[in-house]
């Protein structure tokens, strides 16, 4: 049996409906965890489905929500958990199940779809089915309960950012691998997208808030300190620093304030105590 959990925070009605429609017929139960503040929850309960149950205890934390789903699944006899962000839509979820749950070849490991921002720009490759990765994003991650129990669940010291990476990095220390299924697509919306046109080209920026940027960069440094065998400062600089900062300064509102928040997050990541979960 498969339990899905969708974590919401002031969700967009149309996007959340498409999110659920893409997989609800293929799973046995869906938990919608509401990180939306308690006094506004009822306004954002768009989904009315026999498989859907709303939950949440006022704690705005992705890792806390995922651990709740894990305990719920163990108590109620589920075999797998699908973890979802509210801003994601599966393109071909049934193919994902055929290649994982119904395929004895992939008995273990963390299973992840090919996460993209625009399905129209995807080049499908029929020969490349699976790629081994070092991490996977929370949205679209499909897991056996036995793996979650083996690694001890999610580290609640990571509240929003770094939750998925920390789980994957820790799983690797237990010998678990991350598999990305290249021909299974999940369309993901990141941040508060902002389009920028430069000549004939159009770029989409994440446009994260000041607070979110602080959290992202603090988590990055913590992860490098905790799992140096998984990611290096050189890799991080190439992926997150120069190009990202340049685009923020050139095109986003409050650019200098955002970069200052990034620097503060980096400094905090270097000097705060490591939130290590026992292995």
Domain encompassing residue 238:
194-271
Q: So what's the pLDDT on residue 264?
A: 93
- Tell me: do 43 and 102 sit in the same domain: yes
Last residue of one domain, picked from the residues 138, 161, 188:
188
The DSSP code sequence of 149-194 is HHHTS--TT--STTHHHHHHHHHHHTT--EEEEEEEEEEE--SS-E
Of 188, 214, 241, the one marking the end of a domain is: 188
Q: Do the strands 110-116 and 178-188 form a parallel or antiparallel pair, or are they unpaired? A: parallel
Q: What angle do CA 35, 92, 110 make, to 5 degrees?
A: 65
With tokens 């988590």, the residue in question is 219
Kindly state whether residues 49 and 130 are assigned to the same domain: yes
For position 42, what pLDDT does the model report?
A: 86
The verdict on 208 and 153 lying in the same domain is: no
CA nearest to 103, candidates 136, 68, 142, 74: 142
Is 47 in contact with 32 (CB distance < 8 Å)?
yes
- Position 51 pLDDT exceeds 80: yes
Give the single-character DSSP code of 183. E
Distances (CA, A) of 84 to 171, 246, 256: 19, 31, 33
pLDDT the model gives residue 184: 92
- The CATH number of residue 129's host domain is 3.90.550.10
Instruction: Indicate whether 1 pLDDT > 80.
Output: yes
Mean pLDDT for the chain? 87
Residue 64 inside a domain? The answer is: yes
**Does residue 141 sit in the same domain as residue 256?**
no
pLDDT at 106: 75
- Show which of 188, 220, 252 is a domain's final residue: 188
Question: Is residue 91 located within the same domain as residue 181?
Answer: yes
Q: What pLDDT score was predicted for residue 201?
A: 61
Q: Is 28 exposed, middle or buried (0-12, 13-18, 19+ CB in 10 A)?
A: middle
Give per-residue burial for 112-133: e unless 16+ CB within 10 Å, then b: bbbbeeeeeeeeeeeeeebeee
Q: Between helices 210-226 and 255-271, what is the axis angle to 10°? A: 30
pLDDT at res. 243: 65
Q: Is residue 279 part of a domain?
A: no
What pLDDT score was predicted for residue 25? 95
Which two three-digit tokens encode residue 26?
Answer: 């293929």
What is the H or E stretch that residue 212 is in?
Answer: helix 210-226
pLDDT at res. 3: 98
Residue 200 lies in a domain: yes
In a domain, 276, yes or no: no
105 and 168 both lie in a single domain: yes
156-205, pLDDT tens digit by residue? 999 999 999 999 999 999 999 999 999 899 998 776 666 655 656 665 66
d(CA 95, CA 142): 13
Whether residue 135 is found in the same domain as residue 228: no
DSSP at 278:
P
Same domain, 62 and 158: yes
Q: Which residue has the higher pLDDT, 257 or 241?
A: 257
Domain match, 18 and 128 both: yes
Is residue 183 located within the same domain as residue 198? no
Looking at the structure of the chain, the number of domains it has is 2
Whether 278 is in a domain gets the answer no
Q: Is residue 62 part of a domain?
A: yes
């Amino acid at each position: 049996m498969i339990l899905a959990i969708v974590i919401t925070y002031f969700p967009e009605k149309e996007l959340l409906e498409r999110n659920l429609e893409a997989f609800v017929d293929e799973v046995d139960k869906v938990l919608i965890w509401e990180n939306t503040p308690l006094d506004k929850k009822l306004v954002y309960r768009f989904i009315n489905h026999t498989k859907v149950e709303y939950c949440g205890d006022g704690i705005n934390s992705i890792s806390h929500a995922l651990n709740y789903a894990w305990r719920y699944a163990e108590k109620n006899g589920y075999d797998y958990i699908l973890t979802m962000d509210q801003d994601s839509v599966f393109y071909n979820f049934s193919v994902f199940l055929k290649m994982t749950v119904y395929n004895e070849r992939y008995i273990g490991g963390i299973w992840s779809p090919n996460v993209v921002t625009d399905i129209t720009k995807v080049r499908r490759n029929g020969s490349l089915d699976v790629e081994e990765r070092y991490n996977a994003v929370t949205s679209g991650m499909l897991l056996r309960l036995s793996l979650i129990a083996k690694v001890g669940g999610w580290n609640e010291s990571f509240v929003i950012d770094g939750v998925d990476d920390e789980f994957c990095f820790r799983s690797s220390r237990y010998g678990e691998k991350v598999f990305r299924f290249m021909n299974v697509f999940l369309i993901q919306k990141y941040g508060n997208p902002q389009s920028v046109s430069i000549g004939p080209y159009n770029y989409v920026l994440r446009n994260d808030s000041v607070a979110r940027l602080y959290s992202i960069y603090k988590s990055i440094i913590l992860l490098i300190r905790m799992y140096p065998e998984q990611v290096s400062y050189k890799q991080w600089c190439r992926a997150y620093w120069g190009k990202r900062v340049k685009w923020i300064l050139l095109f986003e509102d409050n650019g200098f304030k955002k970069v200052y928040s990034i620097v503060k997050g980096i400094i905090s990541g270097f000097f705060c105590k490591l939130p290590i979960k026992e292995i």
